[in-house]
Structure 1
Amino acid sequence: MPRRKGAPEVNAGSMADIAFLLLIFFLVTTTIETDAGLDRMLPPFEPPNEEPPVIKQKNIFTVNINRNGQLLVEENLMDIKDLREAATKFLENGADGTCDYCKGRKDPASSDNPAKAIISLKNDRETKYSTYITVQNELVGAYNDLRNREAQRLYGKNFTTMEADYLNPETPSSVRDDLKDKVKRIQDMFPQKLSEAETTTD
């Protein structure tokens, strides 16, 4: 009686190669979405050597965002679309007359000059992140609009373009050296003082 043959063996030697090729395929073709965020660089920590200066309330532009995404600007309800214009008017108000390039109303109840003007942003813990980012963009946009205006007046270029070229490591050193003082001058004219107050739970 002839012996029965066993089940034929499956050659699995090439399975590892196939799995490896599939892994490489998915790594190459898969795209990973990046989350939107804010580009911020924190200043180096320096222990306070003296008491902080007293800041007048009129030099603080308060922006509050509640859990429903509503804005309370200087204790008044405001649409997000009007925020940039209101912040711009505050930053270049020039109440003390020391800012000769400001085009503000010189309202004595508003900020003295751009160096003293501070924007304070406060939000609720349940505020939507998209609303928070939009408000941040509008406030930073107010600074950029003013800086672009002065850069155009002084150098015939947008500040955002000048700053991008200055920060780009591929920009030739001679060009970066030329931009350094120009960028700093515009930044000093409208220093970005955007303060974020502690989040509330109301």
Structure 2
Amino acid sequence: MAFHDVRFPANLSFGSLGGPERRTEIVALASGFEERNTPWAHARRRYDAGMGLRSLDDLAALIAFFEARAGQLHGFRWKDWSDYKSCLPSRAPAFDDQVIARGDGVQKVFALTKIYSSGPGSYVRPITKPVRDSVRAGVGGSEVFAGRHYSVDHATGVVSFADAPEAGAEITAGYEFDVPVRFDTDRIAVSVASFQAGEIPDIPVIEVRV
């Protein structure tokens, strides 16, 4: 499968239904206790692209996008309006939003991540599709600048520094990001009459590993 580095129209993904999915295997023991485990290290997100359609022009744009991706064949970027920043939705990304690593004086290349914490639990999510020109970075509590101090691979989410951060220095980043996805169907079934009557087509989209 190829990945097309294009974003599904953001105005169409606004209002879509979806979010993270986990897979948990549960075994009920004879004692009444349970054993729970998961084969997934990371969540997988699902969305319904049909929920954002509001006009026949929107439907035409979606069909054009679907055809250009050859249905399920090619992946693309998706803006998850409920979770697309390194910070809270009400804030703008800042260079110290997320701690992505600590320097060791040798390593120059680091991957973007986002930490989700609640109570004693936390989850570190890899960020592989940052939005171009949205990444800000910091080293040891001070902001550094793209082009002069570091570069970003927007296809992988990797940040490469010109000089290795000194040992123990916190490496931080703030950014906007997309989710790599593909259509989870090879068929769109909708009629103009039903669409005008308010019947929304079901067009599933699912996250892919890249």
Tell me the TM-score normalised to structure 2 length. 0.26
User: Which structure would you say has the larger RCO, counting Cα contacts within 8 Å and 6 or more residues apart?
Assistant: 2
Q: Which has the higher strand share?
A: 2
Larger radius of gyration: 1
Tell me the TM-score normalised to structure 1 length. 0.27
Q: Which has the higher helix share?
A: 1
